[in-house]
């Protein structure tokens, strides 16, 4: 059996995932050299003071809050 591997250039990481939050998953990805240079952008409904800092501390490269403005989304990413 042949296994395909896929490594994206960009991950839009939802912070509120079932079972494990996106910040923890981001930390795990950053510890793995294979994923260390993939761009991770937090995509979240959280918009409280400090949430963006927490996402960057976890290893996210960017932070976008929902509701997404479809006119500016591409330029933000």
Q: What is the DSSP string of 36-71?
A: TTSEEEEEES--STTHHHHHHHHT-SEEEESSP-TT
Q: Please state, for a pLDDT cut of 70, what percent of the chain lies above it.
A: 95
pLDDT band for 2, please (50, 70, 90 cuts): low
Kindly state whether residue 36 falls inside one of the protein's structural domains.
yes
Q: How many CB atoms lie within 10 A of CB 59?
A: 19
In this structure, is residue 38 part of a structural domain? yes
Domain that holds residue 49: 10-76
Q: What is the mean pLDDT of residues 17-35?
A: 91
Asked whether residue 62 is assigned to any structural domain, the reply reads yes
The DSSP secondary-structure symbol of 13 reads: E
Domain count, the chain: 1
Task: Determine contact, residues 43/12, Cβ cutoff 8 Å.
Answer: yes
């Amino acid at each position: 059996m042949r296994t395909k591997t896929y490594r994206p250039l960009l991950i839009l990481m939802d912070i509120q995932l079932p079972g494990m939050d996106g910040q923890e998953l981001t930390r795990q990805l950053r510890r793995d050299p294979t994923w260390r240079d993939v761009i991770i952008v937090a995509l979240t409904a959280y918009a409280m003071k400090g949430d963006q800092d927490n996402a960057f501390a976890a290893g996210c490269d960017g932070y976008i809050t929902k509701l997404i403005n479809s006119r500016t989304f591409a330029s933000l990413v």
